[in-house]
Structure formats: C-alpha cells, structure tokens
Amino acid sequence: MEYTQIMQKMLTNNSAAAEAIVAGARAEQIAAAAELQETRRQLTEMEQNKVQILQEYTTQLRAQLENYIRLEILEEMAEKLLKKGESLSVVGTLLGLAERVMQSVFRHSGLQQVGSANAWLEYEEDGRSGSVIFHHGKTTNRFYYEFGGDTTLVIIDIPTAAQWETRTGLPLAERELILDFIGKKVVADKAPGYSYRVENSAIVIYI
Amino acid sequence: MPTNPPDFEKYAQTLQQTMAAAIAEAEALSELAAADREAAASVRIIIQEKRNELENLAREAANKYVAEHRKQLQGTIQQEVLISIATKLLNNGESVDNVAELLDVPKEFVATIK
C-alpha cells in the first residue's frame, strides 16, 4: 500500500514535470510565432507606406542639406565679422555658433591673436611694388612695399617707433609683436624659405 | 489476505513514456520556434534592405533638389541669416549705419528691418 502511494506520487510529479517542459517550449514557440507575425506586419506596413516613408526621408535629408548650407553661410559671416574686428565671443553669440565652430572658423580664416586684438593680412600688388594691408581689430593700416635687389626680396616701409602711434593708431607697446607677425606672415604667404628682419623703418625680407 | 506487490516495471515504463513524449513535444515546439525566429530574421533583413533602398532613393532625390536649387536656397538662407543678425544688432542698440557697414548690406535693407 505504501509502495503504491509512493509510485502514484512519482507518476503525478513526473507528469507535472513533463507538462512544465511542454509548457515552456510552447511559450517559446508562441513568442517566436508572435515575433514573426510582428515582423511580417512591419514589412507589410513598410510596403504599404513606401511613398510616405520615401517622402519623410527626403524631407529629412533635404533639411539636413539645407542646414549644411546655413552653416556654411554662418561660417562665412563669422569670418567676415571676425575680420572686421569683432571678438570670437561676440560673433559666436550673434550667430548662435558654438565655441568649437568659432574656433574652427578662426583657425581657417588666417586670423591670429596679436597683442590686444586679432590680426590678418591682405596684399595689394602693383608690379614691383604694392601694399601689405594689416588689419588689427577694427584698425586697418597699409604699409607700402617695393621689391629690392641682390639678397633683398622686398622692403616694407613701416613707421618708426616715434611715429608709430600717430601713424597707425596702434599702441606702441604692441609694435614689436605686430611687426613680427607681419614679417612671419609675409614670408609664409609670399616668400617661403626667405627670412625677415625688422629695422628702424622697414621690414626687410631677404634670402 | 496477501496483497500483490506493485508492478515496478510498469510504473517505470509509464514514467519514461510520459517524459519521452513530453520531450519529443517540446523538441518539436522548439524546432517550430527556431524556424519562426529564423523566418523573422529573414524578414528583418528584407525590411532593412528596403529601408536602405528607400534611404538611397531619398538621398538621391534630396541631393538632386539641392543641386538644382542651390543658388536659390543660398539666397533665401542668406537673407534669413542677415535679417536675423541685423535684428539682433538693432535690438542691441546698434545704429542702422553701423549694422549696414558691419554686414556689408545697403542701409535701406537694415532700415526696412527696423
């Protein structure tokens, strides 16, 4: 009698375990079938809405491209304003450009911090002479130059220290920095391989 | 009255058969599940390919549109940008002359915004 009860209990337990195994597998199969159904639904939906999806993608991409154009325009504007002597932070705020973008514009614009302001150069060439145009913040100065002979390539006329502030409107304390900037930049832009020296009233570019 | 001993062999056979049948059913279900999952994965690949195809078509269309309308878009955006900046500068108290000089635009343009 006791054996029979034990065996019966074992049969019951065994049957429950077997059912649990099947139930687990069935649940897995139901989930997989649902996954397949859902994926097929997505495919059907995509095929039905193909035209709309295409339009949405096109609109998004067009907006992206327009944003690139906008950024190009803003960067050009930023460079222009920086070259007119506005500061990085003022221009960044005005145009809504991040500091990272402003730094990139600054690096590519040929601008350099020289003393109290950003500086850049332009050139006006007229045969064997011309002008180096020096922009420093909102101040612009033209320095006449002429080609030299022998080992001298170019002589750029500059005001002496005594004339400096009156003729340039720039602080005397920054004269040396400014003349070094001009010398280096002219060599880099126009006479790679040459050297420069600053004299009393001239910057001499020589070999 | 003596009782008959239980038939252990029959019990054992029943236990084994029950479990074997359950395992066989579970394996069959698992195979079905695996087949469904594989089919779902294939459908997902098709969806991805169709999405890529649509995206490429869209990119082509967007590029074509921008290439064809670049000048016009640049003009419109440039105008928007100038108006926005000029407005900010005017609101900051800059004069019409200063704003026009700074942005390289005619004074009339700035005056209109003001």
Q: What is the pLDDT of residues A79-119, one digit of tens each?
A: 999 999 998 999 999 999 999 999 999 999 989 999 999 99
Whether residues A54 and B102 touch (CB distance < 8 A) is answered with: no
DSSP states of B72-112: HHHHHHHHHHHHHHHHHHHHTT--HHHHHHHHT--HHHHHH
Whether residues A7 and B8 touch (CB distance < 8 A) is answered with: yes
User: pTM of the entire structure?
Assistant: 0.74
Spell out a b/e string for A84-110, using b for 16 or more CB atoms within 10 Å of the CB, else e.
bbbebeebbebbebeeebbeebbeebe
B51 reaches A (C-beta below 8 A): yes
Taking the CA of residue B10 and the nearest CA in chain A, the distance in Å comes to 10
Q: Which residues of A touch B19 (CB under 8 A)?
A: 14, 17-18
Taking the CA of residue B6 and the nearest CA in chain A, the distance in Å comes to 6
Contact A143, A157 (CB under 8 A): yes
Chain B, residues 23-42, CB within 8 A of chain A, namely 23, 25-27, 29-30, 32-34, 36-37, 39-40
Judge if ipTM > 0.90: no
Q: Which residues of B touch A77 (CB under 8 A)?
A: 81, 85, 103
Q: In the prediction, which pLDDT does A1 show? A: 56
> What are the beta bridge partners of residue A145?
A130, A156
Q: What whole-number distance in Å separates Cα of residue A178 and Cα of residue A169?
A: 13
Query: pLDDT (tens digit, 9 = 90+) per residue, A16-65?
Result: 999 999 999 999 999 999 999 999 999 999 999 999 999 999 999 999 99
Q: What whole-number distance in Å separates Cα of residue A91 and Cα of residue B83?
A: 15
Name the residue among B19, B65, B73 with its Cβ closest to that of A69. Answer: B73
Query: pLDDT (tens digit, 9 = 90+) per residue, A132-174?
Result: 999 999 999 999 999 999 999 999 999 999 999 999 999 999 9
Nearest to A181 by CA among A196, A166, A194: A196
Q: Which residues of B touch A42 (CB under 8 A)?
A: 43, 47
Query: pLDDT (tens digit, 9 = 90+) per residue, B49-101?
Result: 999 999 999 999 999 999 999 999 999 999 999 999 999 999 999 999 999 99
Q: In the prediction, which pLDDT does A7 show? A: 85
